[in-house]
Amino acid sequence: MSDTTDPDLRADCSRCFGLCCVALPLTLSADFAFDKPAGEPCRNLGPGFGCTIHERLRDAGMAGCTVYDCFGAGQLVSQVTFGGTSWRGGPPERARQMFAVFPVVRGLQELVVHLTEALSLPGTEPVRDPLGAALRRVRRLTGRGPDDLVGIDLDPLRGEVGELLERASRLARARACAGSRTRSYRRADLAGARLAGQDLRGADLRGALLVGADLRGADLRSADLLGADVRGADLTAADLTGALFLTQPQLEAARGGAGTRVPSGLRHPAHWAVPDPA
Protein backbone atom coordinates (compact mmCIF):
# COMPACT_ATOMS: atom_id res chain seq x y z
CA MET A 1 0.00 0.00 0.00
CA SER A 2 1.48 3.32 -1.07
CA ASP A 3 0.62 5.42 1.96
CA THR A 4 0.54 9.08 0.97
CA THR A 5 -0.32 10.45 4.42
CA ASP A 6 2.87 12.53 4.23
CA PRO A 7 1.53 15.98 3.24
CA ASP A 8 4.49 16.51 0.92
CA LEU A 9 3.35 13.47 -1.08
CA ARG A 10 -0.31 14.42 -1.28
CA ALA A 11 -1.81 16.89 -3.72
CA ASP A 12 -2.55 20.28 -2.17
CA CYS A 13 -4.46 22.14 -4.86
CA SER A 14 -4.62 25.29 -2.72
CA ARG A 15 -0.84 25.68 -3.19
CA CYS A 16 -0.73 24.75 -6.86
CA PHE A 17 -1.29 26.86 -9.98
CA GLY A 18 -3.65 24.32 -11.52
CA LEU A 19 -0.77 22.59 -13.29
CA CYS A 20 -2.55 19.29 -13.97
CA CYS A 21 -5.39 21.30 -15.54
CA VAL A 22 -3.02 23.03 -17.95
CA ALA A 23 0.17 21.05 -18.51
CA LEU A 24 -1.47 17.74 -19.39
CA PRO A 25 -3.43 16.90 -22.56
CA LEU A 26 -7.00 15.58 -22.51
CA THR A 27 -8.46 13.20 -25.07
CA LEU A 28 -12.17 12.93 -25.77
CA SER A 29 -13.15 9.54 -24.34
CA ALA A 30 -15.12 7.87 -21.60
CA ASP A 31 -12.79 9.66 -19.18
CA PHE A 32 -12.90 13.17 -20.65
CA ALA A 33 -15.73 15.13 -22.22
CA PHE A 34 -13.50 17.03 -24.66
CA ASP A 35 -10.04 17.27 -26.22
CA LYS A 36 -7.42 19.66 -24.86
CA PRO A 37 -3.80 19.96 -25.94
CA ALA A 38 -0.96 20.07 -23.41
CA GLY A 39 -0.23 23.61 -22.28
CA GLU A 40 -3.77 24.89 -22.80
CA PRO A 41 -5.87 25.61 -19.68
CA CYS A 42 -8.89 23.38 -19.18
CA ARG A 43 -12.15 25.21 -19.83
CA ASN A 44 -13.18 24.37 -16.26
CA LEU A 45 -10.15 26.00 -14.61
CA GLY A 46 -11.22 29.01 -12.55
CA PRO A 47 -9.39 32.31 -12.03
CA GLY A 48 -8.12 31.14 -8.66
CA PHE A 49 -6.68 27.93 -10.18
CA GLY A 50 -9.51 25.81 -8.79
CA CYS A 51 -11.80 23.50 -10.76
CA THR A 52 -15.20 25.07 -11.26
CA ILE A 53 -16.92 21.66 -11.53
CA HIS A 54 -14.90 19.77 -8.93
CA GLU A 55 -17.95 18.46 -7.07
CA ARG A 56 -19.55 17.01 -10.21
CA LEU A 57 -16.63 15.85 -12.32
CA ARG A 58 -18.01 12.36 -12.92
CA ASP A 59 -21.45 13.65 -13.83
CA ALA A 60 -19.80 16.10 -16.25
CA GLY A 61 -17.96 13.33 -18.08
CA MET A 62 -14.59 14.11 -16.49
CA ALA A 63 -14.04 10.92 -14.50
CA GLY A 64 -10.41 10.90 -15.62
CA CYS A 65 -9.73 13.90 -13.43
CA THR A 66 -10.99 12.07 -10.35
CA VAL A 67 -8.42 9.28 -10.72
CA TYR A 68 -5.40 11.54 -11.18
CA ASP A 69 -2.96 12.24 -8.34
CA CYS A 70 0.18 14.32 -8.70
CA PHE A 71 1.61 12.99 -5.39
CA GLY A 72 2.40 16.54 -4.31
CA ALA A 73 4.21 17.52 -7.52
CA GLY A 74 1.82 20.42 -8.14
CA GLN A 75 2.64 22.37 -5.02
CA LEU A 76 6.31 21.39 -5.18
CA VAL A 77 6.73 22.79 -8.68
CA SER A 78 4.57 25.83 -7.96
CA GLN A 79 6.01 26.85 -4.60
CA VAL A 80 9.56 25.48 -4.60
CA THR A 81 10.84 24.92 -8.13
CA PHE A 82 9.36 28.20 -9.37
CA GLY A 83 9.30 30.03 -6.05
CA GLY A 84 5.57 30.76 -5.95
CA THR A 85 5.55 32.46 -9.36
CA SER A 86 2.55 31.54 -11.50
CA TRP A 87 2.56 30.71 -15.20
CA ARG A 88 -0.19 33.31 -15.66
CA GLY A 89 0.88 36.79 -16.61
CA GLY A 90 4.52 35.85 -17.09
CA PRO A 91 6.71 35.24 -20.12
CA PRO A 92 5.60 32.33 -22.33
CA GLU A 93 8.95 30.59 -21.84
CA ARG A 94 8.36 30.34 -18.09
CA ALA A 95 4.98 28.76 -18.66
CA ARG A 96 6.40 26.26 -21.16
CA GLN A 97 9.18 25.33 -18.78
CA MET A 98 6.80 24.93 -15.84
CA PHE A 99 4.53 22.67 -17.89
CA ALA A 100 7.52 20.58 -18.99
CA VAL A 101 8.87 20.25 -15.44
CA PHE A 102 5.56 19.22 -13.86
CA PRO A 103 5.26 15.66 -15.30
CA VAL A 104 8.93 15.00 -14.51
CA VAL A 105 8.48 15.96 -10.87
CA ARG A 106 5.25 14.00 -10.73
CA GLY A 107 7.14 10.91 -11.86
CA LEU A 108 9.83 11.49 -9.25
CA GLN A 109 7.26 11.96 -6.50
CA GLU A 110 5.60 8.68 -7.39
CA LEU A 111 8.96 6.93 -7.02
CA VAL A 112 9.37 8.58 -3.61
CA VAL A 113 5.96 7.23 -2.58
CA HIS A 114 6.83 3.67 -3.57
CA LEU A 115 10.34 3.75 -2.10
CA THR A 116 9.00 5.12 1.17
CA GLU A 117 6.54 2.24 1.35
CA ALA A 118 9.18 -0.36 0.48
CA LEU A 119 11.35 0.84 3.35
CA SER A 120 8.45 0.31 5.77
CA LEU A 121 7.64 -3.26 4.71
CA PRO A 122 8.42 -6.05 7.20
CA GLY A 123 11.02 -8.50 5.97
CA THR A 124 12.83 -6.13 3.62
CA GLU A 125 15.89 -5.61 5.81
CA PRO A 126 18.29 -7.12 3.21
CA VAL A 127 17.49 -4.31 0.77
CA ARG A 128 17.02 -1.44 3.22
CA ASP A 129 20.37 0.18 2.43
CA PRO A 130 19.94 0.34 -1.37
CA LEU A 131 16.32 1.41 -0.93
CA GLY A 132 17.37 4.23 1.37
CA ALA A 133 20.11 5.33 -1.02
CA ALA A 134 17.65 5.36 -3.92
CA LEU A 135 15.13 7.38 -1.91
CA ARG A 136 17.73 9.99 -1.01
CA ARG A 137 18.85 10.20 -4.63
CA VAL A 138 15.32 10.71 -5.96
CA ARG A 139 14.52 13.31 -3.29
CA ARG A 140 17.64 15.23 -4.28
CA LEU A 141 16.47 15.22 -7.88
CA THR A 142 13.11 16.77 -6.93
CA GLY A 143 15.00 19.71 -5.44
CA ARG A 144 16.87 20.60 -8.61
CA GLY A 145 16.20 23.71 -10.68
CA PRO A 146 13.95 23.84 -13.76
CA ASP A 147 16.77 23.49 -16.29
CA ASP A 148 18.08 20.33 -14.64
CA LEU A 149 14.64 18.81 -14.12
CA VAL A 150 13.65 19.15 -17.76
CA GLY A 151 16.69 17.09 -18.75
CA ILE A 152 15.96 14.12 -16.46
CA ASP A 153 15.22 10.86 -18.27
CA LEU A 154 12.77 9.03 -16.03
CA ASP A 155 12.82 5.67 -17.83
CA PRO A 156 16.22 4.37 -16.66
CA LEU A 157 15.56 5.69 -13.17
CA ARG A 158 12.21 3.88 -13.07
CA GLY A 159 14.00 0.73 -14.18
CA GLU A 160 16.58 0.94 -11.39
CA VAL A 161 13.99 1.71 -8.73
CA GLY A 162 11.67 -0.95 -10.11
CA GLU A 163 14.29 -3.65 -9.57
CA LEU A 164 14.69 -2.60 -5.94
CA LEU A 165 10.93 -2.53 -5.41
CA GLU A 166 10.68 -6.01 -6.91
CA ARG A 167 13.27 -7.37 -4.49
CA ALA A 168 11.46 -5.72 -1.58
CA SER A 169 8.14 -7.12 -2.83
CA ARG A 170 9.44 -10.70 -2.98
CA LEU A 171 10.78 -10.47 0.56
CA ALA A 172 7.65 -8.85 1.99
CA ARG A 173 5.25 -11.26 0.26
CA ALA A 174 7.27 -14.29 1.34
CA ARG A 175 7.07 -13.15 4.94
CA ALA A 176 3.38 -12.23 4.79
CA CYS A 177 2.41 -15.56 3.24
CA ALA A 178 4.56 -17.63 5.61
CA GLY A 179 6.31 -19.52 2.83
CA SER A 180 3.12 -20.48 0.98
CA ARG A 181 3.34 -20.62 -2.78
CA THR A 182 2.00 -17.45 -4.39
CA ARG A 183 0.67 -16.95 -7.90
CA SER A 184 2.26 -14.79 -10.57
CA TYR A 185 0.16 -12.80 -13.01
CA ARG A 186 2.80 -10.26 -13.90
CA ARG A 187 1.70 -8.20 -16.90
CA ALA A 188 -1.02 -10.78 -17.57
CA ASP A 189 -4.04 -9.84 -19.67
CA LEU A 190 -6.88 -10.37 -17.21
CA ALA A 191 -9.27 -7.83 -18.67
CA GLY A 192 -12.79 -8.90 -17.76
CA ALA A 193 -11.49 -12.02 -15.98
CA ARG A 194 -13.77 -13.80 -13.54
CA LEU A 195 -11.74 -13.86 -10.36
CA ALA A 196 -14.51 -13.49 -7.80
CA GLY A 197 -13.65 -15.15 -4.51
CA GLN A 198 -10.18 -16.15 -5.69
CA ASP A 199 -7.33 -16.60 -3.21
CA LEU A 200 -4.79 -14.11 -4.53
CA ARG A 201 -2.88 -13.57 -1.32
CA GLY A 202 0.65 -12.44 -2.06
CA ALA A 203 0.10 -12.69 -5.80
CA ASP A 204 2.38 -10.84 -8.19
CA LEU A 205 -0.02 -8.66 -10.20
CA ARG A 206 2.55 -6.10 -11.31
CA GLY A 207 1.48 -4.43 -14.52
CA ALA A 208 -1.47 -6.80 -14.89
CA LEU A 209 -4.37 -5.69 -17.08
CA LEU A 210 -7.39 -6.03 -14.81
CA VAL A 211 -9.74 -3.68 -16.63
CA GLY A 212 -13.31 -4.67 -15.85
CA ALA A 213 -12.20 -7.80 -13.97
CA ASP A 214 -14.59 -9.39 -11.48
CA LEU A 215 -12.68 -9.41 -8.19
CA ARG A 216 -15.69 -9.46 -5.89
CA GLY A 217 -14.78 -11.06 -2.61
CA ALA A 218 -11.25 -11.84 -3.79
CA ASP A 219 -8.50 -12.16 -1.20
CA LEU A 220 -5.79 -9.72 -2.31
CA ARG A 221 -4.00 -9.40 0.99
CA SER A 222 -0.32 -8.57 0.47
CA ALA A 223 -0.68 -8.82 -3.32
CA ASP A 224 1.72 -6.67 -5.36
CA LEU A 225 -0.39 -4.28 -7.45
CA LEU A 226 2.35 -1.98 -8.70
CA GLY A 227 1.21 -0.55 -12.02
CA ALA A 228 -1.82 -2.85 -12.28
CA ASP A 229 -4.60 -1.39 -14.44
CA VAL A 230 -7.78 -1.83 -12.40
CA ARG A 231 -10.04 0.57 -14.29
CA GLY A 232 -13.62 -0.58 -13.83
CA ALA A 233 -12.56 -3.69 -11.89
CA ASP A 234 -15.16 -4.75 -9.34
CA LEU A 235 -13.58 -4.88 -5.88
CA THR A 236 -16.84 -5.25 -3.99
CA ALA A 237 -16.15 -7.07 -0.70
CA ALA A 238 -12.53 -7.73 -1.77
CA ASP A 239 -9.81 -7.71 0.88
CA LEU A 240 -6.86 -5.47 -0.06
CA THR A 241 -5.34 -5.39 3.41
CA GLY A 242 -1.59 -4.92 3.13
CA ALA A 243 -1.64 -4.77 -0.67
CA LEU A 244 1.77 -3.64 -1.93
CA PHE A 245 2.27 -0.44 -3.93
CA LEU A 246 -1.47 0.16 -4.27
CA THR A 247 -2.26 3.83 -4.83
CA GLN A 248 -5.33 5.99 -4.31
CA PRO A 249 -5.67 6.63 -8.09
CA GLN A 250 -5.99 2.87 -8.62
CA LEU A 251 -8.83 2.69 -6.11
CA GLU A 252 -10.52 5.71 -7.69
CA ALA A 253 -10.44 3.97 -11.07
CA ALA A 254 -12.03 0.78 -9.74
CA ARG A 255 -15.46 -0.06 -8.35
CA GLY A 256 -16.10 -1.16 -4.80
CA GLY A 257 -18.32 -0.71 -1.80
CA ALA A 258 -18.50 -0.31 1.93
CA GLY A 259 -17.38 -3.93 2.40
CA THR A 260 -14.18 -3.50 0.40
CA ARG A 261 -11.23 -3.58 2.77
CA VAL A 262 -8.52 -1.11 1.79
CA PRO A 263 -5.11 -0.59 3.39
CA SER A 264 -4.64 2.02 6.08
CA GLY A 265 -3.53 5.31 4.57
CA LEU A 266 -5.90 4.92 1.63
CA ARG A 267 -9.61 5.75 1.58
CA HIS A 268 -12.82 4.51 0.02
CA PRO A 269 -13.51 6.68 -3.06
CA ALA A 270 -16.65 8.80 -2.91
CA HIS A 271 -18.25 6.88 -5.76
CA TRP A 272 -18.04 3.70 -3.65
CA ALA A 273 -20.56 5.21 -1.24
CA VAL A 274 -23.36 2.77 -2.11
CA PRO A 275 -23.20 -0.09 0.43
CA ASP A 276 -22.37 -3.57 -0.81
CA PRO A 277 -25.42 -5.72 -1.50
CA ALA A 278 -26.29 -8.22 1.21
- The CA distances from residue 225 to 72, 127, 157, in Å, are 21, 20, 20
Q: How many domains, in total, are found in the chain?
A: 2
Q: Which pLDDT tens digit goes with each residue over 15-31?
A: 999 999 999 999 999 99
Domain co-membership, 162 together with 243: no
Indicate whether 2 pLDDT > 60. Answer: no
Q: Which pLDDT tens digit goes with each residue over 204-256?
A: 999 999 999 999 999 999 999 999 999 999 999 999 999 999 999 999 999 99
Domain co-membership, 115 together with 186: no
Report residue 274's pLDDT band, with 50, 70 and 90 as the boundaries.
low
Domain co-membership, 166 together with 246: no
What's phi and psi for 229, nearest 5 deg? -95, 105
Q: Is residue 1 part of a domain?
A: no
Range of the domain at 95: 7-174
How many Å apart are CA 228 and CA 269, to the nearest integer? 18
Q: Which pLDDT tens digit goes with each residue over 225-236?
A: 999 999 999 999
pTM summary value: 0.92
Domain co-membership, 195 together with 134: no
How many Å apart are CA 258 and CA 249, to the nearest integer? 18
Label residue 56 exposed, middle or buried (CB < 10 Å: 0-12, 13-18, 19+): exposed
Domain co-membership, 212 together with 156: no
Label residue 245 exposed, middle or buried (CB < 10 Å: 0-12, 13-18, 19+): buried
How many Å apart are CA 126 and CA 41, to the nearest integer? 47
Please compute the mean of the pLDDT values over residues 89-98 and round it to a whole number.
Answer: 94
Q: Is residue 37 part of a domain?
A: yes
Q: Which pLDDT tens digit goes with each residue over 188-204?
A: 999 999 999 999 999 99
Domain co-membership, 168 together with 251: no
What is the DSSP annotation of 82-121?
Answer: TTT--STTS-HHHHHHHHHHHHHHHHHHHHHHHHHHHHHS
